[in-house]
Amino acid sequence: MTRVATAAPDTTLQAIAQVAVEARVGSQSGLFDYAVPEALTGVIEIGHRVRVPFGKRTVTGFVYALDQGPTVLELKPIEALLDAEPVLPAVLVELAGFVAAHYQVPLDEVVRAVVPPRVRAVIKRSVKRRRQSRILRQAAQVSHPAVIALEPGQEAARERIAVALTRQESEVFLLHGVTGSGKTEVYLALLEQVLAKEGQALVLIPEIALTPQTVGRFAARFPGRLAVLHSALTEAERAAEWWRIRRGEADIVIGPRAAVFAPLPRLRLIVIDEEESSAFKQDRIPRYHAPTVARWLARRTRSVLLLGSATPSVVTYAGALSGRERLLELPHRAQGRPLPPVTIVDMRKELQAEQFGPLSRPLREAIGESLARREQSILFLNRRGLATFVLCRDCGQARECPHCSVALVYHAALNRLQCHYCGSTEPLPRRCPACGSRYIKSFGIGTERIEQEVRSLFPAARVLRLDRDVMKTPDAADLIFDQMMSGEADVLVGTQLVAKGLDLPRVTTVGVVNADTSLHFPDYRSSERTFSLLTQVAGRAGRGSAASSVFIQTYTPDHPAIKHAQYHDYRGFFREELEVRRAYRFPPFAELIVATYGHRDEARAAREAKTAAEHLSATIALLNLGDIEVLGPSPAFVYRLKDEFRYEVTLKGADLHRVADGLPRGRGWSLDVDPM
């Protein structure tokens, strides 16, 4: 913490408040000490919002801790208490402290993530909710559904968790259920129990916009008792919803990762659906992982934490097998429906047969048969755009982003090249900027290209596309989902936005256009991500009564992620992947911290990273921590990003917080604890 003070001769005892100030101060802790005026002694509490002097200005802040003790400095006093009651509950203040310590970020950065901007500001509380999300408006028109009787497997899982809820003990459960096994029905039954005892619940899902059906089911089951937090809300709406939750007027909060900071005073149950999703990891400061934060919150509030997934992360499943979580399994689909058969299409053989299109013959035939039966198809490709890069066929130069070391992607709808990292765009060149040649060609395929291919092969088909390019409005995913549900569309082409959360009974053909796109990233989780995506996409088929089929197109049919996905074999994949992780000391066998330094001067970036790596190695040697490795420095995967050259230094080992004091900090540095 930092003292904001002037010199004083005595050491009189005085009341002190540690305040997380609303200013980007660069302090390692983000905390500053202030004297508590006599008029506020006994009144001020942890979580109160205050106004304090800071340099030559006055800023707001939150009281993080209260203390009393001697000091040789005369502390500046708190100027004003801004609210009669603490804005932040004490548990959220503690939670912010945990996040700051675990993820090695200043507390003021965490407070910005915990508290919406309009709540932090000095404004009136009477912000009105000017609108509801479309999801809740639709749900309000749905009659309260009858409670669905749980099947034996679902009921057994519910009973195990219900016991922990009744005891009000903090326990962590992993509900591992195949796609379509009815995990959501278990969640709903448990929520009924929590609400019957006047408790509250938090439900985290990867992204609200992608799961309109799931949110709609919760809203219809518990009308008027649900609060939805998501990025489509305006700042005023988010503040109004936050205050509604803070006052205890909502019994269930549902939202993406940031909802883990919802101020629920009577929290009893936390549900995290698709717990393995990388969407639960924030990619900007503070880089927190919502399931990790939820574990702390569950312990602190004596709540039950329920992790649900068809493809749990290797780390979570290994923890469940070791007893860290209680493992519950739903190995079969609800209502006796079978898992869909999966066909692996070796695209090398397609090339040998002179089939050069992006859709193989078996997949084309299956789509045609579904169309003939007036059924639907989903095509998945985790890459946007028409072409993934543009190349000069004379000199071989690919057009790169002028600000990042990545190829620009051609988007037909924009008729421009776009960088998917910084967002910059430029027109498609008529001549090569390097050699002047006119022989410029687009290579690779994205979702736009697949959409064009389907329209060309099946002119009568009604084709929709769902990716970030068409998600221009908060309701875009809802509208597409509605069209698929009503039978107004025949084929849906999309990125991972189509992989999860959709329950479409008319879908009988699912095609993975290229299963290899996520396999070859320099990321130890690439196999896990691929297996999870393939399994989740395959799970979109066979939701209705009609027979269905799944086709996975690949150039690496023998890869374990693809082989096990063919048979929906999570355990087989887990066993192989765990041995790979063991051999290379990746999680769960070690922790990781990645420190990244970026600077516009390439030589300085390399020099700073090298100095940091040497300092860390010296610290480890001094502390005799031979089990911790320092890897690098090495260029980041995207070496240049937004005109900055970036180098990474990676720490690998057990209990890396032992060397926390040696981690590089300051301008240009960013830390990623437990990278995903």
> What are the DSSP calls for 333-352, one per residue?
-GGGPPPPPEEEEEHHHHHH
Residue 535: pLDDT over 80: yes
Residue 415: pLDDT over 80: no
Question: Which residues have C-beta within 8 Å of that of residue 485, sequence separation ≥ 6?
Answer: 504
The confidence score (pLDDT) of residue 673 equals 93
Residue 541 confidence class, pLDDT cut points 50, 70, 90: confident
The confidence score (pLDDT) of residue 391 equals 76
Question: Which residues have C-beta within 8 Å of that of residue 525, sequence separation ≥ 6?
Answer: 278, 676
The confidence score (pLDDT) of residue 211 equals 62
User: Over the stretch 191-205, which tens digit does the pLDDT of each residue have?
Assistant: 999 999 999 999 999
The Cα–Cα gap between 298 and 161 comes to 14
Residue 220: pLDDT over 90: no
The Cα–Cα gap between 386 and 381 comes to 12
The confidence score (pLDDT) of residue 209 equals 64
DSSP β-ladder status, 80-81 and 49-54: antiparallel
Backbone torsions φ then ψ of 24, nearest 5 degrees: -80, 100
Residue position matching structure tokens 């019957």: 196
At 397 the three-state DSSP class reads coil
Q: What separation, in Å, do the N-terminal and C-terminal C-alpha atoms of the chain show?
A: 30
C-alpha dihedral (35, 38, 42, 46), degrees to nearest 10:
-20
3-state helix, strand, coil in the chain (%, to 5): 35, 25, 40
Backbone torsions φ then ψ of 440, nearest 5 degrees: -110, 130
- Rounded to the nearest 10 degrees, what angle do helices 90-102 and 107-114 cross at? 130
Question: Which residues have C-beta within 8 Å of that of residue 600, sequence separation ≥ 6?
Answer: 643, 644, 645
The confidence score (pLDDT) of residue 129 equals 42
Residue 134 burial by CB count (10 A; 0-12/13-18/19+): exposed, middle or buried?
middle
Mean predicted confidence (pLDDT) in 564-571: 95
The confidence score (pLDDT) of residue 383 equals 76
Mean predicted confidence (pLDDT) in 339-359: 89
The Cα–Cα gap between 58 and 51 comes to 7
Residue 178 confidence class, pLDDT cut points 50, 70, 90: very high
Residue 90: pLDDT over 50: yes
Answer yes or no: are the C-beta atoms of 77 and 15 closer than 8 Å: no
The confidence score (pLDDT) of residue 27 equals 60
The confidence score (pLDDT) of residue 142 equals 44
The confidence score (pLDDT) of residue 428 equals 83
The Cα–Cα gap between 233 and 211 comes to 16
The Cα–Cα gap between 49 and 246 comes to 15
Residue 602 confidence class, pLDDT cut points 50, 70, 90: very high
User: Which has the closest alpha carbon to 279: 257, 310, 254?
Assistant: 257
Q: Structural domains in the chain?
A: 2-115 (3.40.1440.60), 134-335 (3.40.50.300), 337-386+445-582 (3.40.50.300), 591-673 (3.30.70)
The confidence score (pLDDT) of residue 26 equals 57
The confidence score (pLDDT) of residue 501 equals 65
The confidence score (pLDDT) of residue 143 equals 44
Residue 55: pLDDT over 90: no
The Cα–Cα gap between 579 and 585 comes to 10
Mean predicted confidence (pLDDT) in 568-583: 96
Residue 124 burial by CB count (10 A; 0-12/13-18/19+): exposed, middle or buried?
exposed
The tokens describing 377, both together, are 């198809």
Residue 350 confidence class, pLDDT cut points 50, 70, 90: confident
Buried b (16+ CB within 10 A) or exposed e, 332-343: bbbeeeebbbbb
The confidence score (pLDDT) of residue 106 equals 86
Residue 366: pLDDT over 90: yes
Residue position matching structure tokens 């603490």: 86
The confidence score (pLDDT) of residue 542 equals 74
Question: Which residues have C-beta within 8 Å of that of residue 442, sequence separation ≥ 6?
Answer: 386, 387, 389, 390, 391, 410
Query: Which of 62-71, 117-126, 353-362 is the least confident region?
Result: 117-126
The one-letter amino acid at 20 = A
CA geometry: angle 507, 529, 360, nearest 5 deg: 45
The Cα–Cα gap between 145 and 148 comes to 8
Distances from the Cα of 368 to the Cα of 158, 417, 444, angstroms? 42, 33, 24
User: Over the stretch 143-168, which tens digit does the pLDDT of each residue have?
Assistant: 445 567 899 999 999 999 999 999 98
pLDDT mean across residues, the chain? 86
- Give the up-direction half-sphere exposure of residue 390: CA atoms within 13 A in the CB hemisphere: 27
Residue 585 confidence class, pLDDT cut points 50, 70, 90: very high
The confidence score (pLDDT) of residue 235 equals 85
DSSP β-ladder status, 49-54 and 31-35: unpaired
Answer yes or no: are the C-beta atoms of 638 and 645 closer than 8 Å: no
Percentage of the chain beyond pLDDT 90 is 48
Mean predicted confidence (pLDDT) in 610-623: 93
Distances from the Cα of 180 to the Cα of 309, 326, 370, 574, 643, angstroms? 11, 21, 21, 20, 45
The confidence score (pLDDT) of residue 432 equals 86
The H-assigned helical ranges of 539-661 are 560-566, 570-584, 602-622
The Cα–Cα gap between 372 and 363 comes to 14
Tell me which DSSP letter residue 497 carries.
G
Question: Which residues have C-beta within 8 Å of that of residue 196, sequence separation ≥ 6?
Answer: none
Residue 11: pLDDT over 50: yes
